[in-house]
């Protein structure tokens, strides 16, 4: 089963049969399994990045979150660029990310 970046769909945490933990407050890197598939089917779990490579870890994603200075979208996009086995699709919206807005205000 592939590694994915996933998050819960509400203010609750999940733990699967292999003791993988999905916190309520941030996405996490997990290996998909039957337990997580069941949570996905029950709309308790959302996949943000599918098919991460073997080097992707939750600790590495936490580093990306810290480096993004609170810009969750930037952290996810950067992590996808580094660890996704699929091509990264550009943002559909023409809106700037939170980091871009902060940067332009700082000028």
Structure tokens that stand for 76 in this block: 């996810």
**Backbone phi and psi for residue 21, each to the nearest 5 degrees, phi listed first:** -110, 130
Distances (CA, A) of 43 to 36, 40, 52, 53, 88: 11, 5, 21, 25, 24
| Domains in the chain, number | 1
pLDDT at 95: 55
* DSSP SS3 for 11: coil
Q: What is the pLDDT of residue 104?
A: 58
Q: Which domain holds residue 82?
A: 3-106
13 with 30: CB under 8 angstroms? no
pTM: 0.78
In which residue ranges of the chain is pLDDT below 50?
none
């Amino acid at each position: 089963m592939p590694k994915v970046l996933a998050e819960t769909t509400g203010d609750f945490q999940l733990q699967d049969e292999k003791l993988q933990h999905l916190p309520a407050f941030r996405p996490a890197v997990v290996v998909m399994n039957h337990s997580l598939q069941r949570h996905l089917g029950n709309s308790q779990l959302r996949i943000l990045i599918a098919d991460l490579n073997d080097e992707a870890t939750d600790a590495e994603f936490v580093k990306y979150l810290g480096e993004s200075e609170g810009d969750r979208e930037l952290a996810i996009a950067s992590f996808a660029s580094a660890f996704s086995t699929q091509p990264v699709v550009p943002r559909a919206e023409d809106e700037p990310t939170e980091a871009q807005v902060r940067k332009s205000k700082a000028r």
